[in-house]
Structure 1
Amino acid sequence: MEFTAIDYSIFALLLVLSSAIGLFYALSGDRQRTVQEFLLANRDMGCLPVALSLLASFQSAVAILGVPAEIFRFGTEYWFLGCSYFLGLLIPAHIFIPVFYRLRITSTYEYLELRFNKTVRVLGTVTFIFQMVSGAGGAGGAESGGWARLSTALPSPQVIYMGVVLYAPALALNAVTGFDLWSAVLTMGLVCTLYTTLGGLKAVIWTDVFQTLVMLAGQVAVIVVGAWRVGGMARVWRVAEQEGKIAGIE
């Protein structure tokens, strides 16, 4: 399968609109004049756009491309991962976030300074930066031997994940368009950097809203058209059961 002229037009339009949102907030009356406007969107964003922006953060290329392949290969056990979100999301939302919101701070490191002192804040910041750019190994001491030395030389999981998030959609583009792989990575990285730098968090949120709606529309279209082509959802479910792909929700 390869892109047609219509596909190329839609893809170009998505990139242009994403960049245009950043330019709009950089040049319009809502342009980011202060640190609070740039980092916190002036604290005046509504619940719905923020929720859709958070949804876009979870719906990375890794999820959109990887999860269907995971379920197709191994079955629906993957859905149990969603159970962890009840604790992983509800506890921070009801315990940590309200504290940060009342204090009107922009990062957890500001809280460290308020709770302790500036030295603790700087140490926390430096530790996080070190964790992001290097491996997490070395904790095992001398008995860890070569493994400890190897793990400290490797990049951290966060750095690897961020690379995969850019690489995965570039790989998909390369497969259907013939674009040079690294040119696609560079293009997407530059577009994201452009609208983020120019428009701040407000541009990021509204771009995420736009992209979330596009992704949801695409996913619904794939489900509807795919089910229709094979004879309906009932047949999809029946074939999945016959192949042993349904697990944990019988």
Structure 2
Amino acid sequence: MNRIYLASLVAVTLAAGGGTSLGAEAIAGTAAPKIGLIWIDWVIIAAYGIGTVVLGWWYSRGDRTTSEYFVGSGRMNPILIGVSLFATLLSTISYMSMPGEALGKGPAFLANYLAYPLIFLIVSLVLLPVYMKQRVQSAYELLELRLGLSVRLLGASLFLVLRLVWMALMIYLTSKAISILMGVGEDWIPWIALVSGTVTIIYTSMGGLRAVVITDLMQTILLYGGALLVIGTVSWKMG
């Protein structure tokens, strides 16, 4: 499942609904308006969900081989791939928790990002050349070539278990955040999780890697656009 879809869904809901005005009123110390969504908010959210599914369908038309479906035939735009990889680093947890961490701990919270340039250099200059030279489709295939099938199966199994638990947390946090923005009770969380998860599965399974990369680009724009919109709205409300 594409985790940035969940984070961007929160951003779209927050930008579309009364969450922006709610935050501004709460900070300003005035009476908070009733939490909930109006019809235009639902139109925006529905258009977003339908748009991602349409993109998945559109790019599914060009997938004629398994190579095109799973790896885009290895001929995708490197800029789009870079944006998709960058977007993959984001999640609902980072989108929702980082502002609170920065507010509570100050600039010290950003100290871990100082290591990123060094990490990127090591990965790009040392690890990626070795990986690309082997012409493998995944890191687990490389594990099999170097260490045997049992190590590959162990690595893949551990990854799947980790991701299943982690993704369940992502879906729950996303659904809980959206339920608060919608002004509904926690009994709606399973239904919100079902809808958001179904949309993600549909466009990913229909379009393959190309659909994932293109929707990652769209969701990155919405993610940061929603954040900027919230910041601008709160700043405007506070004068």
Q: How does 1:37-186 map to 2 (within 5 A)?
A: 37-115=68-146, 120=148, 122-132=149-159, 156=162, 158-177=163-182, 178=184, 180-186=188-194
The alpha carbon displacement at 1:87 in A equals: 3.0
The equivalent residue for 1:143 is none
The alpha carbon displacement at 1:132 in A equals: 3.7
Higher relative contact order (CA closer than 8 Å, sequence separation 6+): 2
Count residues with an aligned counterpart.
Answer: 202
- 1:39–1:106: 8 Å Cα contact kept in structure 2? no
Moved more, 163-172 or 204-213: 163-172
- 1:196–1:203: 8 Å Cα contact kept in structure 2? yes
Supply the distance in 1 between the matched residues of 2:113 and 2:67 (Cα, whole angstroms): 33
The alpha carbon displacement at 1:15 in A equals: 0.7
Deviations 1:110-148 (A, max 9, x none): 2234445xxx1x2123212442466xxxxxxxxxxxxxx
Q: Aligned residues: percent identity? A: 26
- 1:2–1:176: 8 Å Cα contact kept in structure 2? yes
Supply the distance in 1 between the matched residues of 2:89 and 2:143 (Cα, whole angstroms): 27
Supply the distance in 2 between the matched residues of 1:58 and 1:66 (Cα, whole angstroms): 14
The alpha carbon displacement at 1:68 in A equals: 0.9
- For the pair shown, which has the larger CA radius of gyration, 1 or 2? 1
Supply the distance in 2 between the matched residues of 1:230 and 1:166 (Cα, whole angstroms): 32
Deviations 1:170-192 (A, max 9, x none): 11111122271011111111111
| 1:25 corresponds to which of 59, 63, 70 | 59
The equivalent residue for 1:15 is 49
TM-score (norm 2): 0.77
The alpha carbon displacement at 1:106 in A equals: 0.5
Tell me: CA distance 1:57–1:127, structure 2 relative to 1, closer, same or farther (3 Å): same
Tell me: CA distance 1:77–1:128, structure 2 relative to 1, closer, same or farther (3 Å): same
Supply the distance in 2 between the matched residues of 1:54 and 1:108 (Cα, whole angstroms): 15
Q: Secondary structure at the match of 2:137?
A: coil
Supply the distance in 1 between the matched residues of 2:234 and 2:51 (Cα, whole angstroms): 28
Gapped regions of structure 2 (runs ≥ 5): 1-34
Supply the distance in 2 between the matched residues of 1:126 and 1:47 (Cα, whole angstroms): 30
| 1:221 corresponds to which of 223, 226, 229 | 229
Deviations 1:41-80 (A, max 9, x none): 1112112211221222122111111111222233232111
The equivalent residue for 1:208 is 216
